[in-house]
Structure 1
Amino acid sequence: MSTPEYITALREKVGHQQLFLPSVTAVIVRDVPMGASVWEVPSTLLARRADTGDWAPVAGICEPGEDLAATAIREVKEEVGLDARVEALLGAGKVGPVTYANGDECMFMDTTLRLSVDPAAEPVVSDEENLEAGWFSVAHLPRSLSARHRLVIADGVAQLKHPTGFKPRVGYVKRTR
């Protein structure tokens, strides 16, 4: 599913004006199997977006009244065909503004969650939003992956490895000294 119907209805009234929308980014991290080499690192699931060609974690807009966890689980099923479980909150922050090819502008209040899937699960592209999907070693992520996505994937690995010491990120703003 691309643009939710309620957004299409809103666009009929407000045109290309900026919308502020709740969204979820689903960071799926697959840990190293027991007995693996000490050199192996976790992997993360990414999809290559049809609109930009960039690789990214699964993400989507919340439907009206939909819980954040339900949005993440729904988006993973819709985009890569996998059943997922929400494991942890990684952070929240503003993303955008984003201007789409048709001129629509959005600002997102994004909540990033770490999800898990069956360790043997393999993704399949199951909608028109993505061209392909696959597992990537966190040590060898695609060049087209954004800095924010690299950050939240690192947060997902940190939370997986050290859950009691992890503190969710508030804001995705670049810090300067």
Structure 2
Amino acid sequence: MELLEQIRAFQPWNPQEEQDRAELLRRLGSGEALYTRDNASAHLTASAWVVSPDRRQVLMAYHNLYGSWAWLGGHADGERDLLAVALREVREESGLVNVRPVSPEIYSLEILTVDGHEKRGVYVSSHLHLNVTYLLEADPADPVRRKPDENSAVGWFGLEEAVAASSEPWFRERIYKKLNAKLALV
């Protein structure tokens, strides 16, 4: 199913998802180029809320760019299958080999602000990540490793500890708490 159809079928869980879904549909429907970083103001990203099979732990990475424990994910970079992007990014950022979708359906939607920053010596202007989140599952006993150019640590946390580990208040309150609360519906 095409991303636009997936987002149309997505049932928002709260007002944030409702508003962000409407804006994602508007932007995708406008024909705006969103699948690559060529659009400097906004582009598509995919994130993963990676949980243990018992749904009591979540995988986080300490992201160098943000100086915070955070979920895993990255840019579409031309790929139109955002679930494939989420799986690729988790494997690249954590070293996990055996990670699988709990469902192929979209788990959550967010529009995320990214402050201007330096990346590999080049300035990147402030912009939006039009983000699609998938719920993935992996075994906490499987080995993980850091990806030094992106993160300095990767580890499993209890659900509440994962929220508390983030140093970004908006993510703690609006995103990570929401993702954990939605686990009760799965």
The two structures share one fold, judged by TM-score above 0.5 = yes
Residue in 2 that maps onto 1:122: 143
1:75 and 2:89 equivalent?
yes
**Inter-CA distance 80–146: structure 2 relative to 1 (3 Å threshold):** farther
- Count matched residues: 142
The structure whose residues are more often helix, as a share, is 2
Does the 8 Å CA contact 1:30/1:116 hold for their aligned counterparts? yes
- Equivalent position amino acid for 1:113 in 2: Y
State the partner residue of 2:112.
95
Paired residues of 1:30 and 1:44 also in contact (CA < 8 A): yes
Structure 1 contact 22–108 (Cα < 8 Å) conserved: yes
Larger mean Cα displacement after TM superposition, 135-144 or 48-57 = 135-144
For 2:56, give the aligned amino acid: P
Q: Partner of 2:91: helix, strand, or coil?
A: helix
Change beyond 3 A, Cα 1:143–1:73:
closer
Q: TM-score, normalised by structure 1?
A: 0.68
CA distance in 1, matches of 2:168, 2:135: 17
1:161 corresponds to: 184
Q: In the aligned structure 1, how far is the partner of 2:73 from the partner of 2:79? A: 17
- Percent identity reads 23
- Are the equivalent residues in 1 in contact too, given 2:79–2:85 (CA < 8 A)? no
Unpaired runs of 5+ in structure 2?
1-35
TM-score, normalised with respect to structure 2: 0.65
Residue-by-residue CA offset, 1:17-73 (whole Å, 9 max, x unaligned):
8431100111112254xxxxxxxx812111011123211000200121330110000
Measured in 2, the distance between the counterparts of 1:53 and 1:93 equals 20
Runs of 4+ in 1 over 4 A off after TM superposition: none
| Structural RMSD (CA) | 2.5
- What residue identity is the alignment partner of 1:28? V
